[in-house]
Structure 1
């Protein structure tokens, strides 16, 4: 029996409540191919519907996100050189993406980690490269713990507002839908424009030297 991702999440929500929120987010941080928003936004919906207690759900979501990211950072910082060539690691962070993000780290430093928290699909690679370059624990935790408050709060609020809007189909509900639709369309148009530019060679994302990635592997191999 093959369930879709949202059915899988909902099934665990029904069984375990906020504990499922925490567990799914931690596992998603280190390998489960499940977007964070697919867990946190529905959790906000469940709060608004009165099925989940607000305090414990907010706590579970925050600790799940920060716990998963911290565990992933630890794995990449301590074992990244040994894992970077494995099929499992390549599924989490492809070498091409790693080199692109490494180039951004070289140019912008810690800001890359901060910004990646708010760009869908970028957080995993951003944290991975932070671990590979041995970003200090203090800097990582400062960025992680502070930005997670914003991202988790926003996503929970989005799910909460969506449920409330559907249950009270007043003018505010339709205004919210309209604003959301405009944002989605704007982002989609920008992504399509960037993709077309990249296909014609007008937009190139810089990459770090491939030798840096090889050094990570050989350095890990020589330390065995």
Structure 2
């Protein structure tokens, strides 16, 4: 192990951290732990080599994250949704990131790498929110340093145990690699099955944008809930005309405000209307008889050439939009 660390340690760290930052499922943290343990077992002082590994890790992380930062700045919501489609937790990917970013702003990047799912979407969201480059580099660099420092520290502290594990795996030969691969495949399979089960539990019924538009023009407008997080509405400050801002975590207020027989349409900013479908199911269980997610959300509404309204006032949960504008993307 020691010879491999001496020869390939920096390259392994750079490639693994860069690949992870670009969204590939590679074991970057175990690599950092392994390299930290290898440096700790050397007879020479380890602090200078550790500093070099830390610097390389931060540089690789910033390079990969900068790609997504500029992708988010240029393509906005399309980048966020594409990343969430790749996530094993896409049902919570977008919403959780929106809330964290809405609460802490660009500072969330300093801890994002420690929170599964958040690290994947928070960087392009910073770009979509038009964050300035210097604060992005400062907080993202801090987060990368803390994350890589933790991995290297764990390797140093538990270097003896890491060496024992490596020696054991070496004795097992190819069987060890097969076991690790099997466990990884089992984990990914379980997450995939869990996600499929969630999707099946969400009813497939949707309302199309043309049908919603017809109801509005026929004088039978349903209640339209916009459940995008406030931070995302800053990225895309437009709503379907008459939409009411709502939070799926506050269903009690909805139950006490609207009659059970009212038709309700819900849209979100998540892939496949997952959050909207989940909230629709919750409202049906609460006694509402006619609740449907809007297929494609506000993006499909715009694509159909239908008008949107600009959010002109500070947002609150029950506020409504005004200032109508012509149809088409902003």
Who is 2:138 aligned against?
142
TM-score of the aligned structures, taking structure 1 as reference length:
0.60
Q: How does 1:69-218 map to 2 (within 5 A)?
A: 69-86=65-82, 90-92=85-87, 94=90, 96-164=92-160, 208=229, 210-212=267-269
In proportion to residue count, which structure has more helix? 1
Who is 2:36 aligned against?
44
Post-superposition Cα deviations, 1:62-109, rounded to whole Å, max 9, x if no partner, equal 2222322222222222234444454x6521483641123213322332
In 2, are the aligned partners of 1:100 and 1:207 still within 8 Å (CA)?
no
Question: Could you tell me how far apart the structure 2 residues matched to 1:111 and 1:57 are?
Answer: 24
Cα deviation, residue 44, structure 1: 0.9
Who is 1:34 aligned against?
26
Question: Could you tell me how far apart the structure 2 residues matched to 1:72 and 1:39 are?
Answer: 23
Who is 1:18 aligned against?
10
In 2, are the aligned partners of 1:103 and 1:207 still within 8 Å (CA)?
no
In proportion to residue count, which structure has more strand? 2
The count of corresponding residues between Structure 1 and Structure 2 is 172
Query: What is the SS of the residue equivalent to 2:114?
Result: coil
In 1, are the aligned partners of 2:58 and 2:144 still within 8 Å (CA)?
yes
Question: Could you tell me how far apart the structure 2 residues matched to 1:121 and 1:132 are?
Answer: 17
**Higher-Rg member (1/2):** 2
Higher deviation after alignment, 47-56 or 151-160: 47-56
